[in-house]
Amino acid sequence: MALIVQKYGGTSVGSIDRIRNVASRIKRLRDEGNQVVAVVSAMSGVTNKLIAMAGELNDEPADREMDVLLSTGEQQSIALVTMALHDLGVDAASVTGRQAGIRTTGSHTRGKIDAIDPAMMQEFLEEGKVVICAGFQGLREDGMIHTLGRGGSDLTAIAVAAALQADVCQILTDVDGVYTCDPRVVKDARKMPEVSYDEMLEMASSGTKVMQSRSVEFAKKYGVIFEVRSSLNDNPGTIVTEEHDNMESVVIRGVSIERSQARLTIIGIPDEPGMSASILSCLARAEINIDMIISNIAHDGLARHSVTMHSHDLGKAQAALKPIIAKLGDTSRIETEAGIAKLSCVGIGMRSHSGVAAKMFEALGASGINIGMITTSEIKIAVTVDETDIEDAARIVHAAFELDKEPTK
C-alpha cells in the first residue's frame, strides 16, 4: 500500500462533470489499496470572479480581507469533491489549510509555508478515509487566514507530500507533462519523460507555466520526487527528480518563453559602493520581483542599471524609485521599455558543452531577430526580444537544437 498525494488544478475541477472525473480517479487509486490525499484548487474562473467582485466594492480591497475571500474558492472545491466521493461510496473528509496544519509566514496574499502539522490528516488516513485538502491557503501565527499566491496549490501538495512522507506526489493538470517548449507555440514540441529539479526550476522561473518555481524549490529542498501528468487521461507524465549522469548528455532540455516583460533603466548613477544595494532594496521593499540585472559604466563615469520585471509592476517600480532618483540629482533619470519578452534555453548539459550561446545567437541572427539584454547561469541562457518576435524566436531555437528529436542515449 502506497501513500499518494495528488494535486488537481482549477481546470481539473472546473465543472461538475470534471469533479466526478476526479472523484473516479481517486476512487480507483483507493480501490487499489492506496492511501490518498488530494490537494485541490478553486474551480477554474472562481478566483478571478471573486477578485472582480471585490473590485466592484472597493478599488483597493484590504489584503487581509482578500485572503478571507479567496480562500473560499478552495473550500468550495474540497467540499464538492468530497461529496462526489461519498456518492461513489468512498469514505472521505475535507480539510481546510488550517485543519491540515499548514502554518504560514509573510504578508497577506503572499504567504510562505513555514511548517505543517499533519496530525488531522494522519488521523483521517488511519481511519481509512481519503483526505481532500484545500490548496493555496494556511494559517498565520496570529490566527489570520493566509493565501499563498501564484502556484499556491502546487506548493501545498509538495509540502503535504514532504510532511506525510508520501511515496508518490503527482501534480495533475490539463497537460500531459513538461514539454520541450509550449506546444501551442511549437507544434513539434516533445514531452520529456524526466527533468532535473534545477532544470525545472530554471524553466519555471523563465515562463514555463506547468509549475511555479517556489514549488520546485521546496521539492528539491525536501527531496520530494514528483510527476507532472494530465488529470484527463492515464498517459505517463514527466518525473521531476535529482539529476543523474545520463541527464548531462542532453545539452538543451527545453526552451521557455515569458511574455509581458518590461525593462527599467536608471541612468546617471554615481559609481559608488552601495548604490546598487540602495536601488534593489527599494524595489524589494515594494515587493517587486525583478529578473534580469545588467550594470555598466558609461563614458561619463556614471553607472546605469537595467532590470526586467513583469510589465504590470513597471508603474509601481517607477513610483518606488522616485525618492532615490530625486536624491541622485539632475544627472539621473529613468527610462522604460515595455512590449518585450524573454526567451530562455535550459539544460544541465551546458556545464560540459561549449558553444551553446553561439549556436542560439547565430540561429536568431540568421532569422533577423534582434537580441536585447542577455543573462546566463550555469544551465541557462536568457535573452530579451520584441514581444512580437517571441513565438518565431522560440520555434527557431527549438529547431536549431533539434529538440523535436528524442535524445540519443
How high is the pLDDT of residue 408?
Answer: 66
CA distance 276 to 349: 33
How high is the pLDDT of residue 48?
Answer: 94
How high is the pLDDT of residue 271?
Answer: 84
Look up the pTM and report it: 0.84
Which is nearest to 327 in space by CA: 396, 268, 409? 268
Residues linked to residue 258 through DSSP beta bridges, in sequence order: 342
CA distance 290 to 284: 9
Please identify every stretch of the chain with a pLDDT value under 50, giving residue numbers as ranges.
none
330-348 pLDDT, tens digit per residue, is: 888 999 999 999 999 999 9
349-378 pLDDT, tens digit per residue, is: 998 888 999 999 999 999 999 999 999 999
Contacts of residue 295, defined as CB under 8 A and 6 or more positions apart, other chains included, come to 276, 303, 304, 305, 306
Q: What angle separates helix 16-31 from helix 63-87, to the nearest 10 degrees?
A: 60
Largest CA distance in the chain: 76
CA distance 303 to 220: 37
How high is the pLDDT of residue 409?
Answer: 57
How high is the pLDDT of residue 217?
Answer: 93
Which is nearest to 81 in space by CA: 69, 93, 72, 97? 93
H-only helix segments in 108-167: 119-126, 152-164
